[in-house]
Amino acid sequence: MRIYKILTRAEWDAALAAGAFVGSGVDLADGYIHFSTAAQAQETARKHFTGQPDLVVLEVEGDDLDLVWEPSRGGDLFPHLYAPLDPALVRGVTPAPLDAAGAPQLGLGS
């Protein structure tokens, strides 16, 4: 199953330079990297990233990671990674432009 991480292009560029993504601010505060499934990602983008420019979406094969699925919004299980993400495991990086209301548009299927 493919999972997705929304972050700024600057965070991704820094991760590439460092050879690992250790997380965005909220990830570091919570102690794990937040991911979403395709069905969850657009709502995550709307709820947590509205108005934030220059976002990208990482696409990762969930089976490549040692994920913990934990309840969050409405009891839905979300994939969490309690380790740095190796950039070599990222299958795709796409921009997430903002719509007229400022919500990032991910263009993912659900």
Give the right CATH number for 2-95 from 3.20.170.20, 3.40.50.2300, 3.40.50.300, 1.10.760.10.
3.20.170.20
Give residue 72's pLDDT band: very low, low, confident or very high (50, 70, 90): confident
Residue type, 76: D
Work out the percent of the chain whose per-residue pLDDT is above 70.
Answer: 98
SS3 content of the chain, % helix, strand, coil (to 5): 35, 35, 30
In the numeric block, the tokens 């299980």 are attached to: 77
pLDDT in tens, 31-65: 999 999 999 999 999 999 999 999 999 999 999 99
Token digits for 69? 């699925």
Both tokens of residue 24? 């965005």
71 near 77, Cβ under 8 Å?
yes
Residue type, 23: G
| pLDDT, mean over the chain | 94
